[in-house]
Structure 1
Amino acid sequence: MLVIGGGPTGMTVAGDVARAGRSATVLERWPSINPSSRAFATMARTLEVLDAREPADDLLADANRATGVELFAGARLDLQYLRSRHQYVMITPQTNVDTALGRYAKAQGADIRRGIEVVGLRQDDDGVTVTARPKGEPGPRTTLRASYVVAADGAHSTVRGLLGIGFPGKTVLSSLVLADVKLRNGPDGGLTLGSTREEFGFLAPYGRHEPDGSWYRAMVWDRGRQVSDHVPVEDSEVVDVLRRAMGTDFGVLEIGSPSRFHCDERQVERYRHGRVFLAGDAAHVHSPMGGQGMNTGIQDGANLAWKLAAVLDGAPDSVLGTYHDERHPVGKRVLRQSGLMARGVTLHPRIARGMRNLVVPRLLRIPAARDAIAGSFAGTELRYPRRSGQHRLVGTRATEIPLAGERLTLLQRAPGFVFIRERGGHRPDEPELLHAERTDAGPAVLVRPDGYIAWAGSSAESAWRDTLREWTGR
C-alpha cells in the first residue's frame, strides 16, 4: 500500500497498516518535518487514538494540558467533564505530533521516503501505478505499484489534482496571523479568546516557562488589515492586534515563527475514488476555530487503515465503502461547527454580538449543553451509523468501558478486534481475538481496531461471529 503525504494523517495510516502485517510506503515531498505546521491542539479522542499506538505518553510528558476554553463575555467551555481519561486538550506544536507518529510508523516497519514528489498516477482494476521523482528535480523518475493509494497530501493535494477531483467550497477568513509569543504576564488557565467588532486574538499556553515569561501560540485577525498571504508579518502587528483584541497588554517579549494564511471551507464529495482514498486536509479543510483539522485527519487515518489491512487480508471490498459512509458526515459536521465558531467570533453588528454574549454564557452553564458541545469538539461524543435492529451501542466508542486488567487502549497496541465479555462471562473459544472482561453490568461487545463497537449483546449468542465475518471475511 502507498501513502502520499507524511503528516499525522499519513503516518497514522502507514503505521497502522504496517502494524497489521502489510507493507506500507510513504512518499513525502518535504525532506524533513514541515516546521510551519499550524496545529497545536490535540483533543481527547485523538489522545485515545495515540494512546492505542503509544505516542501519547511521550507527547503528554512535555505538553501543556488545558482544561477549558475562555470565550467571550465570561463564557467558558469546560473540558473537565468529558467522558474520557483525557479531560483536557493537549497543547503542543504539531511538529511534535508529526515526530511521534513518524517514529511509530517507522517502528511498525513502514518505509518512509522523504524529498519525493508525485507527478503521475494511473489506476486500473488490479492496482495503482504512481510516478514520482526527487522534489524539484526534472528526473530521474521512479514508478511504484500498489494495491491501494491513500492521499494524505494536504489541502493542495497533488493526488486530488491528478485525478481531477473537485474541492468545492469558499474562503471564510483571510489574513489570519499565527505566531509563537513569549509573554511577560500571560493569561492563566487554558485557552483564551478575546474579540472586539474589529479583531480577535487567541492564546494557547505551551507550558514552556522561562524566568522572564511564558510561551504561547497566538492567532490574531484584524478586519482592517486584509492583505495577501505573502505579505510579511511585522512584530508590531501581532503586538497591536493582540492588545486590542484582549483588552490588555500581556507584555510581548519575543515573537517567533510568524505566518499569514487564509482558511477555506471545502470538502470533496467522495472520499473514495476507485483504489484511491482521500484523508485529512486532502479531503476537507475548514476554519481553525476549534482546533479540529489535525484531529479529524488522524481519526480519518485510524478509521481507514484497519479496513485497508482487512481487505488486503481477504475481507470483502464493501468494508472499504464504510470509510466514506462513516467519515464524510464527520468532516461535514466539522466544517459546519468550525464555520459557526468563526462567524460567531467575527460578528460585526452590535445587536448580533450582544445576543451572542447573552446566549452563549448561559448555554454553557447548562451541564447537558456544556457536555454535548465539549464532547463534540473533543471527539468523544462521535458515533458512527448503525443498521436497523442493531444494539444502541453499535457505532459508539468503547474506550470508557471499565475492564478487569489493562485499559482498552493498551490492549489495542496489538492490532485486531477485541472481544469484551460480560462480567463473569465465559471466554469464547476464538484465539485470534484479543479478549477482555468488563467490570460493570454492561453487555458483551465486539470492538473494532479503531475503538468503536461493531456488535453488542450476550456472549452466549453467535451473532458476534457473524459481525466479525462481515468485517474480516473470516
Structure 2
Amino acid sequence: MNGTGTGLGTDPKPIPHPGAADPTRSVIVVGCGPTGLLMAGDLAAAGVPVTLVEKRPHKISNLSRAIVVHARTLELLDARALSDEAESLGRRLDRMNLFARLTVTFDALPSRFNHLLVLPQYEMERILERRAVEAGVRFRYETEVTGVAQDDAGVTVETRGPGGTTEALRAAYLVGTDGMRSTVRTAIGLPFPGRSVIRAVLLADVRLARPPKEVLSVHSRGDAFVFFASFGDGYYRIVAWNRRRDTLESEPLHLEEVRETVRAAAGHDFGMHDARWLSRFHSDERQAPSYRVGRVFLAGDAAHVHTPAGGQGMNIGMQDAANLSWKLAAVVQGRAADALLDTYQAERHPVGTEAMRSSGAIVRLAMAKHPWTQGLRAVLTTTLNAITPIRRKLALQITGLGVRYAAPEGAHGLTGTRAADVELEGGRLYEALRGGRFVLITAEDCADKTGLEDRLAVERRTGHDGDSRTTVLVRPDGYVAWAADAPDLRAIEAAVEAHLGERVGLAP
C-alpha cells in the first residue's frame, strides 16, 4: 500500500461507515458540490454504501459562479436520466462569440446536445442532490474533516461536527471533492503547484437595458475584458476584469465599479441595473501532480483549477466523477482489481492539464496588453474564424466531446473514444447506460447468446450504416473499452473477460 496521510485532530476510535455492515466495502466523499454529488450518487446507485461529508450547513445557495453546462456533461446526465430536467431549467445556446471576431458554434456538434446550456450551478446541485438522496447517500452536513489516515485495509477520516463533537469514520476509499482549498488534499500531503493568473475578477448578476447581440460573448479593449452570459430570465452573468484595478478579494464590490470595468472593456455598460449578486474572486491555474495517493482520490477543483474562460470547471469535475465512480464501485464490490483505479490518474490528469492550457489561452488573449499583442489577437481570431476545421476542433475541446483516452497498441480505432449515442433495438445507447453497466453493442447473431445479460447490457444497433458490423464494448462512463469489426464469439468473450474480470463462457 503506497501513500499515507495524516492530519491534525484528536484520535477518536474509528466507527464503521454509517449504514454499512462492512466498512471495507464503503466510500466516503468529502465536498457537496456537483462533483461530489455526482460521485456519491453514482456509488450509491451501484449499491456501494457512501457518506458525503460537507462542512457547510444543508443549504443550496441561489448564487453560484458556474453557469455553463457542456455537451459531454449533458450526455453524462442523460446516462443518469437527468438531462431532460436540466434542459427544462436552462437556456440553450448554439454559439459563443470571442473578441467580436471569433464565433464558436455548437449546432454541428456530433451529439444530441448540440448546444451549450446556461444553467446555474445551484440548479445542477438540486438535481444531483435529489438523485443522491434517492439512491441512499448518507449526508453529514456541518461536519469538517480534521485529519486523514490510511492503511492497507482502508481510510480513517477524523471529523468535527456540530457543537465540536469529534468522530472518526472508516471506509475502504476516500474521495476529496472539496474544492480549491481542499482539506483532503492538504491532509495527504499533496502540493498544488501553479499560480494566480488574475486578481480582482468581478462577478455580477444584473439586468441589462441594452443587452449585447450575442447572449454568450467576450469583449476586450485595452486593459479590461468582460464576459456576458444570459440566464434567460432577464438577468445576465457578468465576469469582468481591469488590469489597472488590483483590488483585494475581501474589498466590498459596488455596481458602479462593475459598470466602469464593463465600459472599459466593451465601450458602454449596456444599461446594467438591479444587481442581485456582486462578488470578487481571483483566478488560479493549479493542478495536483497526482489524483491518487493510496486509497485517497481527488476530483474536481480539489485536483485542478483553471480560469473560468470556456466554462469548463464544473464540467470537468463532473466528468472526473463519472470516470472514477464506476471504477471504485467495481473494486469495492470485488469485481475488479485495485489496479483499475490507477487508470483514473492516467485518463483524467491529462484532461485537467489541457483545460488549463485552453482556458489559459483564451484569458491570455483577453489580457493582451501591448498594441502588437492586441494586433496579433485580432489577426489570430479573424484567421481562426475563417478556418472551419479549427473552429470545429475548438468546439469539441471546449465541450468535452473531443476527449479521447489512450488505447493499447494495435487496438481498434474506436477504443478510448467517446461512444456516440447510437440507436439500438432497445433504445438509445445512453438510455442503455442508465443501468450503470457495460453495454455490448454487437451483431444480431451474437446478441441473442446467453451468458452475458447478467453481467452487462447486450444491445444490437438498428440500421445498416457502415459500422453496423462493428462490435463495441462501452464502459459505464460512455467511452469505448474495446471494439472489433465482425469478431467471433471467442474474441467477444476475451474482451468481456478482460474488462469485466469474469469468464462468461460464450464460445463452445
Shared fold, TM over 0.5: yes
| Alignment pair present for 1:160 and 2:185 | yes
> Per the alignment, in what secondary structure is the counterpart of residue 227 of structure 1?
coil
User: Which residue of structure 2 aligns with residue 463 of structure 1?
Assistant: 491
| Alignment pair present for 1:6 and 2:32 | yes
Once the two structures are TM-superposed, the CA of residue 36 in structure 1 deviates from its matched residue by 4.4
User: Which residue of structure 1 aligns with residue 173 of structure 2?
Assistant: 148
1:132-176 Cα shifts (integer Å, max 9, x gaps)? 1226x4x21111100000000000000111111100111111100
Once the two structures are TM-superposed, the CA of residue 119 in structure 1 deviates from its matched residue by 0.8
1:231-269 Cα shifts (integer Å, max 9, x gaps)? 111110111211231223411121121110001111111
Conserved 8 A contact 1:422-1:459:
no
1:90 to 117, 135, 147: 117
Unaligned runs of at least 5 residues, structure 1: 209-213
d(CA) in 2 for partners of 1:104, 1:190: 31
User: Which residue of structure 2 aligns with residue 438 of structure 1?
Assistant: 461
d(CA) in 2 for partners of 1:423, 1:93: 44
Letter in 1 for 2:44: A
d(CA) in 1 for partners of 2:255, 2:393: 39
Letter in 2 for 1:281: D
User: Which residue of structure 2 aligns with residue 201 of structure 1?
Assistant: 226
Q: Relative to 1, partners in 2 of residues 1:252 and 1:172: Cα closer, same or farther, differing over 3 Å?
A: same
1:386 to 407, 423, 436: 407
> Per the alignment, in what secondary structure is the counterpart of residue 100 of structure 1?
helix
User: Which residue of structure 1 aligns with residue 427 of structure 2?
Assistant: 406
d(CA) in 2 for partners of 1:464, 1:361: 49
Conserved 8 A contact 1:428-1:459:
no
Task: For 1:313-324, list aligned pairs within 5 A.
Answer: 313-314=333-334, 315-324=336-345
1:381-417 Cα shifts (integer Å, max 9, x gaps)? 1111000011110001113333334211212111110
Once the two structures are TM-superposed, the CA of residue 74 in structure 1 deviates from its matched residue by 2.4
d(CA) in 2 for partners of 1:428, 1:324: 36
d(CA) in 2 for partners of 1:81, 1:285: 29
Once the two structures are TM-superposed, the CA of residue 463 in structure 1 deviates from its matched residue by 2.9
Q: Relative to 1, partners in 2 of residues 1:467 and 1:38: Cα closer, same or farther, differing over 3 Å?
A: same
Q: Relative to 1, partners in 2 of residues 1:267 and 1:454: Cα closer, same or farther, differing over 3 Å?
A: same
Once the two structures are TM-superposed, the CA of residue 129 in structure 1 deviates from its matched residue by 0.6
1:271 to 274, 291, 295: 291
Once the two structures are TM-superposed, the CA of residue 459 in structure 1 deviates from its matched residue by 4.7
Letter in 1 for 2:183: T
> Per the alignment, in what secondary structure is the counterpart of residue 428 of structure 1?
coil
d(CA) in 1 for partners of 2:232, 2:487: 47
User: Which residue of structure 1 aligns with residue 249 of structure 2?
Assistant: 229
1:15 to 25, 31, 41: 41
1:402-446 Cα shifts (integer Å, max 9, x gaps)? 333421121211111001113676433211211222233311100
> Per the alignment, in what secondary structure is the counterpart of residue 35 of structure 2?
helix
Conserved 8 A contact 2:156-2:170:
yes
d(CA) in 1 for partners of 2:354, 2:231: 28
Q: Relative to 1, partners in 2 of residues 1:459 and 1:107: Cα closer, same or farther, differing over 3 Å?
A: farther
Letter in 2 for 1:172: V
1:219 to 239, 247, 250: 239
1:22-68 Cα shifts (integer Å, max 9, x gaps)? 11110011112245431000100001011111222112112111111
Conserved 8 A contact 1:178-1:218:
yes
Conserved 8 A contact 1:177-1:261:
yes
| Alignment pair present for 1:415 and 2:436 | yes
1:60 to 87, 91, 112: 87
Conserved 8 A contact 1:319-1:471:
no
d(CA) in 1 for partners of 2:298, 2:292: 6
d(CA) in 1 for partners of 2:392, 2:426: 28
Unaligned runs of at least 5 residues, structure 2: 1-26, 503-508
User: Which residue of structure 2 aligns with residue 71 of structure 1?
Assistant: 98
Structure 1 stretches of at least 4 aligned residues deviating more than 6 Å after TM superposition = none
Letter in 2 for 1:12: L
1:243 to 257, 263, 281: 263
Percentage identity across paired residues of the two chains: 42
d(CA) in 1 for partners of 2:310, 2:97: 12
Conserved 8 A contact 1:422-1:441:
no
d(CA) in 2 for partners of 1:16, 1:455: 23
> Per the alignment, in what secondary structure is the counterpart of residue 368 of structure 1?
helix
- Structure 1, 293-302 or 176-185: larger mean CA deviation: 176-185
- Structure 1, 432-441 or 84-93: larger mean CA deviation: 432-441
Conserved 8 A contact 2:40-2:137:
yes
> Per the alignment, in what secondary structure is the counterpart of residue 364 of structure 1?
helix
Letter in 1 for 2:175: V
Conserved 8 A contact 2:203-2:280:
yes
> Per the alignment, in what secondary structure is the counterpart of residue 391 of structure 2?
helix
User: Which residue of structure 2 aligns with residue 211 of structure 1?
Assistant: none
d(CA) in 2 for partners of 1:471, 1:133: 40
Task: For 1:255-334, list aligned pairs within 5 A.
Answer: 255-314=275-334, 315-334=336-355
User: Which residue of structure 2 aligns with residue 341 of structure 1?
Assistant: 362
Once the two structures are TM-superposed, the CA of residue 180 in structure 1 deviates from its matched residue by 0.5
d(CA) in 1 for partners of 2:178, 2:499: 28
- Structure 1, 43-52 or 111-120: larger mean CA deviation: 111-120
d(CA) in 2 for partners of 1:245, 1:450: 41
> Per the alignment, in what secondary structure is the counterpart of residue 274 of structure 2?
strand
Task: For 1:368-387, list aligned pairs within 5 A.
Answer: 368-387=389-408
User: Which residue of structure 1 aligns with residue 74 of structure 2?
Assistant: 47
Once the two structures are TM-superposed, the CA of residue 311 in structure 1 deviates from its matched residue by 0.7
> Per the alignment, in what secondary structure is the counterpart of residue 122 of structure 1?
strand
d(CA) in 1 for partners of 2:369, 2:167: 53
Conserved 8 A contact 1:311-1:472:
no
d(CA) in 2 for partners of 1:3, 1:86: 29
1:311-352 Cα shifts (integer Å, max 9, x gaps)? 112211110010000000101111111111111111011111
d(CA) in 2 for partners of 1:96, 1:374: 24
d(CA) in 2 for partners of 1:375, 1:363: 15
User: Which residue of structure 1 aligns with residue 379 of structure 2?
Assistant: 358
| Alignment pair present for 1:169 and 2:203 | no
